[in-house]
Amino acid sequence: MGTPVLFQPLKSDPVFLRERMGSLLPDRLLPALSNAHPLSLLLFDRGLTYLEGTWKGNSFLAVESDGYTFLPAPPPWTLLPEGPSGRTLREPSFWRSVSEILLERNNGIPSYLDGVPDASKLQGFPTPELTETEFLLCASDWKTLSGPRHKTHRWERNRLSKIVPDARVLPWDPLYRKSAHELLARFRRERERKMRGDQEKILLEDQIRAHEKALSSSRDLGLSGLLVLSQDRVLGIAWFAVLPDRRGAIQFLEAREPGLTGISVLLTHHFFALFPEVSVLNIQGDVQNQGIRRAKKLDLPCRLSPVYRITLGDSSGHTPASAEQRTLSPKIG
């Protein structure tokens, strides 16, 4: 066994987590935008418990769910700010120690770490595998929707204005919580009608649960919400996290009135108008779902950012067949 790795519960007060995890965001724009915002774990949770691990006096974050322990991603915020994260993350002995303890805690089932493309430079560490892609939208394209590239977007926006001439976009206000819940119920029924498999059902349950958590705790989670309203009826809602430097943002969630495809265009267009300093918006990954991948490509991203995965606890880099049913990925958003 390597250097002992110890775990203890992490204080779970939402305000405390927002302040602590918010400070773990990378300083540079693209690394922050090309990986999931840490608060996504607060949104897309299935009974997650946060653990604080220590290695050689340095602290790092782990997550436990249904008895299974894994490391969230990306590495820039795996270790807490007070530790020498830059050096520690590049020490193979750190990864070996954590891998061994995770393998033991998970009864021989390897854990996963997403978003570590540079880990292939570490001697004796498994090469990361490309697992999915995140989609980045540029403000320069969306502020005008000009050119043939955005012809469909302009058509959807104009069609929506004819169907709902009084549609307007406003920041989230708890006054509209009841109407937002009614929208989510309609949105859920429509998605359930079109479902074709268990994976889509799980994704929808996560999405609805995340919306409900955002509706009740958006301030504690540090999220900004936008509503599309017709009179006092909510026709669309989206939740965003603006990065501390205000140059980039991540869109977590969106729900819209069934049949009104122009809602998505309206929300994205108004987001860039309301946050003029934001230059890039991450609309998250495809979660290895071909339908979601196709839908997000329709938003015409200006950049595709790769997402990688490394297997921890298995020196061969291969996952045992028995692990397939129990493995959890921290990248659900």
Are 122 and 88 contained in the same domain? yes
Q: What is the pLDDT of residue 322?
A: 37
Are 191 and 280 contained in the same domain? yes
Distance of alpha carbon 190 from alpha carbon 35, whole angstroms: 30
Token representation of residue 243: 């990065």
Are 99 and 202 contained in the same domain? no
Looking up residue 22, the CATH number of its domain turns out to be 3.40.630
Are 144 and 97 contained in the same domain? no
Q: What is the pLDDT of residue 184?
A: 97
Report pLDDT digits (tens) over 167-208: 999 999 999 999 999 999 999 999 898 877 777 787 788 889
Report pLDDT digits (tens) over 34-77: 545 555 656 666 667 777 788 877 777 777 777 788 776 544 44
Do residues 240 and 251 touch, judged by C-beta distance below 8 A? yes
Question: Cα dist. 125→3, 93, 153, 197, 306 in Å?
Answer: 17, 10, 45, 35, 20
Domain membership of residue 317 (yes or no) is no
In terms of Cα–Cα distance, which of 270, 191, 194 is closest to 229?
270
Residue 136 has pLDDT above 90, yes or no: no
- The total number of structural domains in the chain stands at 2
Looking up residue 270, the CATH number of its domain turns out to be 3.40.630.30
Domain membership of residue 321 (yes or no) is no
The pTM for the full model equals 0.76
Are 99 and 152 contained in the same domain? no
What residues are paired with 131 via a beta bridge?
none
Are 114 and 144 contained in the same domain? no
Are 136 and 285 contained in the same domain? yes
Report pLDDT digits (tens) over 220-251: 777 899 999 999 999 999 999 887 778 888 88
Are 109 and 250 contained in the same domain? no
CB proximity list for 147: less than 8 A, separation 6 or greater: none
Are 189 and 268 contained in the same domain? yes
Are 16 and 119 contained in the same domain? yes
Range of the structural domain that residue 12 is part of: 4-131+306-310
Residue 188: exposure state from Cβ atoms within 10 A (0-12, 13-18, ≥19): middle
Domain membership of residue 328 (yes or no) is no
